[in-house]
Structure 1
């Protein structure tokens, strides 16, 4: 080989070596210094507080993580899109987040109809969908390897509520539910649980999503004089129903599932007067946010106070979701891909990871981390007890 040939060979080898040494990112949403997530949720409209609080908790966790250097040298960014709790907007947002914003994963979607609208899109694109704020069965059955649920299902919540009620002599149960996939999921959960307890509903009626027109539901339910009304809707319509029912001298009890938005419900009821909120029961799928005895709550409380953010159930859920997602990223390693993230998340279980007093159990065949359900009640001055 002549001199010029040797030089060319050396130059070629050097270029190949240099290219091999440079970072290569095959996945969208992953750069040398950043991981980009996408979140479509209600940030305006009657359900806005759900998205605002969920995002606030996650943001506080990720901001603190970023200040400490991120994960494997990368900082985490959440691109948000307001879907106003409407399925069509959620569908459009999901397409934009994946195709235009090119996010690595979808995180913290809020609601059943909105998550359902996103389901065929992220499944086709093979984009992980982590910790949606919904307990709908359609995100659990059939099994979808791209979905990871942190919270318990609506079946878990409603069975817990019904068992408690029937065992305490309150078998005359009615259901006020949202007229969409969320409301139907909750209604089915109540009916399944009541069938097990060998009791039947005395009444049921609906309200439209993002509406506070509860007049028909009041006419359908109150004449049946139920002991308790289980509500499967968002905070604005649930509050409207409670206020009007009490004005009509209904003296029974109100029970809600966690999606209602506990703090938002208490706040909305308080605007109508001090007597409407106290006594309303809400099931919860995360620990009590004011219990410092739970390590993850103590950690969350410290972080939220430092950030001057509100402490409540929804932001705690966002914070915990971010913490678990971080663990998945950590285990996936520096050479991050969506497939590596999925396998890493599937390796997380209570035997090898402690969130801080909250059991998380994923596996290759199970992407539902928890079946935890607690009961809380609204107290005077918008406070809670459990």
Structure 2
């Protein structure tokens, strides 16, 4: 299958693992993936009384484990009610064995597909999703809703993607920052991988269009760093009025703590994509107050939409006392969407019938968590829209309605 790309650098038809990403071009290298589809559905995928699903086992990484907790929340409720068309949903996953997290996640997905014969893969998000999506296409095994916007496969039959794409999000936020908030010098602190480097390069490529200067950039190598005071002080010395955070939750929290320690009050902080969650960004002392971002979901604790009330009820039922956040809400709503496909596919379940069933979904109602969802044979993207939000009194408040870039 030929490989094409979207305007933000996303791979459109066939994805591979990547080490670097510019705003306009990806250098792609595939390692260890044999592009030979399974000739027939594995007999272990669907039996008389179960459907075998592949997910990651607990990783110790906060967002990943919370996303999967939300998906397992749906699976547990379904099984307690008797399953789908008389079949229980059985989850199988493997812990990461050490080494590079992306490589381990892809290796575990390959094991689940090639050795265990799972019916489909759920999540496997972040940079690992790039390699997992390639595997799914090669093996003709559905890969559903990875927690990332790095994978864009509208023409790929076996991959269904989730939240708004980074190319559109970045344009919405840069327009808002410059035209509404008057940003003129924008810096960035970013993860030292494909995710962070995308936003770094995007910031540079759009500077002339929106009339700002890139003040400085700092890459974070460790996912769970120690004190970031020196890094934030160096960034402050470049005199930004705005700082974009294209990082992971633990990195963001350390950055906010360093901002507080430096008493750096004359700067607007901006959270990227799925980072926009109170649980990690809201640090003691109010240093994160005023942070703006592109929210994907309403407040999981306070919103009154029926879908969110149902999520809270299940969290209280199965995980009493566990904090609610947008990561597990993500898992919950996209777990529901996968369940919709299984229900539509019927008792005579095959992967092809399942994909056909997913593509038949029109105006699916999530109960207010997402805008209505529709799929087709050429559009497997569930959620193109988000909304601008700002952290006020410890909660992200909506500053706009749904915006589809």
TM bin, normalised by shorter chain, reads: 0.7 to 0.9
Contact 1:278/1:379, CA 8 A, preserved across alignment: yes
TM-superposition CA deviations, 1:333-358 (whole Å, max 9, x none): 211111111111111121xx322222
1:38 corresponds to: 54
| Whole-angstrom CA distance in 2 between matches of 1:331 and 1:194 | 47
Q: CA deviation at 1:230?
A: 0.6
**Stretch moving more, 236-245 or 98-107:** 236-245
Equivalent of 2:114 in 99, 104, 126: 99
Q: Is residue 2:122 matched to residue 1:122?
A: no
| Whole-angstrom CA distance in 2 between matches of 1:332 and 1:152 | 27
Q: CA deviation at 1:301?
A: 1.6
Contact 1:242/1:254, CA 8 A, preserved across alignment: no
2:310 corresponds to: 299
1:29 corresponds to: 45
Q: CA deviation at 1:105?
A: 0.6
| Whole-angstrom CA distance in 1 between matches of 2:112 and 2:323 | 28
| Partner SS for 2:56 | strand
| Partner SS for 1:204 | strand
Q: CA deviation at 1:365?
A: 0.6
Q: Is residue 2:300 matched to residue 1:289?
A: yes
Contact 2:56/2:93, CA 8 A, preserved across alignment: yes
| Whole-angstrom CA distance in 2 between matches of 1:141 and 1:59 | 25
1:82 corresponds to: 95
**Count of matched residue positions in the alignment of Structure 1 and Structure 2:** 350
2:13 corresponds to: none
TM-superposition CA deviations, 1:277-320 (whole Å, max 9, x none): 33333422123223443221122122222222432111111000
Q: Is residue 2:254 matched to residue 1:240?
A: yes
After TM superposition, the structure 1 = structure 2 runs for residues 97-176 of structure 1, keeping only pairs within 5 Å, are 97-112=112-127, 114-136=128-150, 139-140=151-152, 143-167=155-179, 168-176=181-189
Q: Is residue 2:241 matched to residue 1:230?
A: no
Contact 2:296/2:386, CA 8 A, preserved across alignment: yes
Larger proportion of helix: 1
Q: Is residue 2:355 matched to residue 1:342?
A: yes
Task: Check 1:183–1:27 CA distance in 2 against 1; reply closer, same or farther (3 A cut).
Answer: farther
Contact 1:183/1:233, CA 8 A, preserved across alignment: yes
Equivalent of 1:249 in 255, 263, 280: 263
Task: Check 1:164–1:217 CA distance in 2 against 1; reply closer, same or farther (3 A cut).
Answer: same
TM score, norm. by length of structure 1 = 0.82
| Partner SS for 1:173 | strand
2:28 corresponds to: none
Contact 2:155/2:377, CA 8 A, preserved across alignment: no
1:19 corresponds to: none
Q: CA deviation at 1:39?
A: 1.4
Q: Is residue 2:329 matched to residue 1:316?
A: yes
| Partner SS for 1:93 | helix
1:12 corresponds to: none
| Whole-angstrom CA distance in 1 between matches of 2:314 and 2:137 | 34
Contact 1:377/1:384, CA 8 A, preserved across alignment: yes
Task: Check 1:187–1:144 CA distance in 2 against 1; reply closer, same or farther (3 A cut).
Answer: farther
TM-superposition CA deviations, 1:3-25 (whole Å, max 9, x none): xxxxxxxxxxxxxxxxxxxxx97
Contact 2:153/2:380, CA 8 A, preserved across alignment: no
Q: CA deviation at 1:178?
A: 1.0
Contact 2:93/2:108, CA 8 A, preserved across alignment: no
| Whole-angstrom CA distance in 1 between matches of 2:302 and 2:216 | 37
TM-superposition CA deviations, 1:10-64 (whole Å, max 9, x none): xxxxxxxxxxxxxx975542111111211137621xxx11122111211121211
After TM superposition, the structure 1 = structure 2 runs for residues 189-268 of structure 1, keeping only pairs within 5 Å, are 189-191=202-204, 194-212=207-225, 214=228, 217-218=231-232, 220-251=234-265, 252-260=267-275, 262-266=277-281
**Stretch moving more, 203-212 or 333-342:** 203-212
Task: Check 1:326–1:169 CA distance in 2 against 1; reply closer, same or farther (3 A cut).
Answer: same
Task: Check 1:312–1:334 CA distance in 2 against 1; reply closer, same or farther (3 A cut).
Answer: same
| Whole-angstrom CA distance in 2 between matches of 1:27 and 1:154 | 38
TM-superposition CA deviations, 1:219-246 (whole Å, max 9, x none): 6522121111111110111222222233
| Whole-angstrom CA distance in 2 between matches of 1:27 and 1:217 | 53
TM score, norm. by length of structure 2 = 0.78
| Whole-angstrom CA distance in 1 between matches of 2:242 and 2:276 | 19
Equivalent of 2:84 in 33, 53, 71: 71
